[in-house]
Chain A
């Protein structure tokens, strides 16, 4: 008799929600039809590739892939969505690719690797996309790379930090940290500190226990190559504290207290996202002002807003100032991005590290296709290996001998007068800017 009560309202609600679902699926209908169309075009494109490459059609070229639109990677993935959309938009305005418009609708991998893998399998083999673009985040990128390799797809990706494990011949990274990130990257930072005139004598390390940051701090697992910490010791700096913290740390006071107790000349924070910001807040709360500090991959907006963030160092590949914006094109791009990001409701709209590597990845993909003059994956792959690519983060020359990595293109930036400015290497430094300690 419990069921007798409220049947009608309940059933109405059921219907309502089903309307929702139906709606979702009908709208999904469109994507499938486009996908079907895409499937059709792949075959034609493939034929085109084999027969005559100059044959152009108005059918769109579909680029498949996923992004962490939801889940714990979503905050930064949002930037890559904006960058990618903007790139595709500008590309289509300038006549598209091989005379055809380009479509890119990244699906949501929910920041979960198996979702990412499944999505790449799906878009490649069910939806039959022409090209793929890597997702955001080491875990998802790695999972999807296995798929790309099995399917023989050219795989450009922008934010994979574990350089030592990517062996696929046709993966093209634009995370420009070189194959030996653990050595080259810290040394770029340390050189900047030397340039400042008074390098630190004591240094403290605060490392997130996350594969990417651990790799930079200690080198690849099971190797004695060492990383940021051993490199610092090589320079005769005294490592006064070495603190590893787990992802999802909520109480920063103990860590802050330990740093304050060690009172180092310089703090190297091997952390991602907002950990650095939370740490600065905790430091300020116990009344400690760091003399010098570096953050590996911070969320730039929150870091700028954090207390005592003035003078904080970090890495980048592009900053919206001279010399990067001297040329007209990059200047326009960075402008356009900031507008788009603002429109998308993203708080910190500067076109910097994340956005620029994303842009570069797209440039690589497009350069490959245009260079090969076809959508044949092998031809694109070969062309990219044998040619240099001009990207917004610099000239890239993929080196098969180094698993398609190349020199470390990282620049060192510092917060000066409440602004991020590149301070090293000097040829990329903002006018008059130099490392300060």
Chain B
């Protein structure tokens, strides 16, 4: 069995297991928030994975996630409310609209060679500014009145609202990550990596850089918008201020970089960890301290795990597995906390503490060096980003 079939099998299993979660929750009469917790996590996983397809793979630093997200929110919002489209029809359309917008942007910025590096990052940022002010100005889109999504009908087969949200976000997240994986393991992926490392040389070796960058940008925009649509449904009332702010673009960068941008699993891990920690800190109810901790954690993790948490887990997979599942088991069996989510987050924290041990020190502690499988990029090299100046 090849590595690919193994991974795809893994996807299938994960899909089935997660797909059954709503039923399990129902049977066990577990807190419905478990579903909310998971679908919010799926939201961030999808967002950061889609961002990573462009920036992580090709090295083109995008500040523009908010733009794709916003296009998704408003397209679904307008189609589903003002034109009464079925939500499940409006959603993919929103994705396509964003994808088209992405390609349009790419057509301009990738044609002009000088628009790489910082300039690309700044252009994507500027684009989301423009979109915001257009939305605010045109009453067809928002006109400063906001759009109400509450009461948007959802098809029966998705179940009640929370379950529907869960199922939709699950499908989108799975699609995003699957796409990220398939690209990662394809000629497209390798082409993008070579662009990230040295675009000039890549072209010289025959990589169709323009087409590949367009593909990456389009894919990023498409998935970014899909999740945007679902998000609109969850908050029920969307306004320009809530949609086009720096929160989404900054958090996706944060999650992907912490998880590791050089592997398709990186953003998934990053999003899962960051979201879990922030949710629990918030639940702990310490407003300001909470913010300070998040800020500090961010800095520490950026400095402490340079190659990204995922690759470090790969490098210490035995220890990670033992510690995480050990802690998880202990916490649940002895029922030390009030909910599974708490167990999960504590297990996470303990594992993180282990992961944060600097590699040389770790190697001194565990004499036997555990190396990652060859399919991975070698750890410990900082990612050269296109913004790193030329």
Question: Which residues of A line the B interface, CB within 8 A?
Answer: 3-4, 7, 10-11, 13-14, 17-18, 20-22, 24-25, 27-29, 31-33, 35-36, 39, 69-70, 72, 105-108, 112-115, 117-119, 121-122, 124-128, 138-139, 142-143, 145-146, 150, 165, 167, 209-211, 214-215, 221, 244, 246-247
Contact = CB atoms under 8 A, between A and B. Distances in A.
A211 B346 contact: no
Contact of A107 (B133, B237, B283, B349): B283
Contacts of A4: 360
Given A18-B353, A25-B280, A115-B282, A247 B358 contact: no
B224 to A, nearest CB: 16
29 contacts: A3-B360, A7-B360, A7-B361, A17-B300, A18-B349, A18-B352, A24-B293, A25-B345, A27-B284, A28-B283, A31-B284, A31-B285, A32-B338, A39-B338, A70-B288, A118-B37, A124-B33, A126-B31, A126-B341, A138-B237, A142-B236, A143-B234, A143-B237, A145-B150, A146-B150, A165-B237, A209-B136, A211-B146, A246-B136
Point out which of B285, B292, B300, B356 has the most chain A C-beta atoms below 10 A from its C-beta. B285
B346 A25 contact: yes
A27 B145 contact: no
Given A7-B361, A17-B300, A25-B346, A211 B338 contact: no
B235 interface: yes
Given A139-B237, A165-B148, A150 B285 contact: no
B7 interface: no
Given A35-B338, A39-B338, A113-B237, A244 B300 contact: no
Contact of B284 (A11, A28, A209, A244): A28
Contacts of A28: 280-281, 283-286
Interface in B230-245: 231, 234-237, 239, 241-242
B283 A121 contact: no
Contacts of B289: 24
- How big is the B interface, by class? 35 or more
B33 A143 contact: no
B133 to A, nearest CB: 8
B73 to A, nearest CB: 11
A107 B283 CA distance: 7
Given A36-B338, A165-B150, A246-B136, A14 B304 contact: yes
Contact of A3 (B236, B339, B359): B359
Interface SS of chain A: helix, strand, loop or mixed? helix
Nearest to B359: A3
A17 B297 contact: yes
B384 to A, nearest CB: 14
Interface string B367-381: 000000000000010
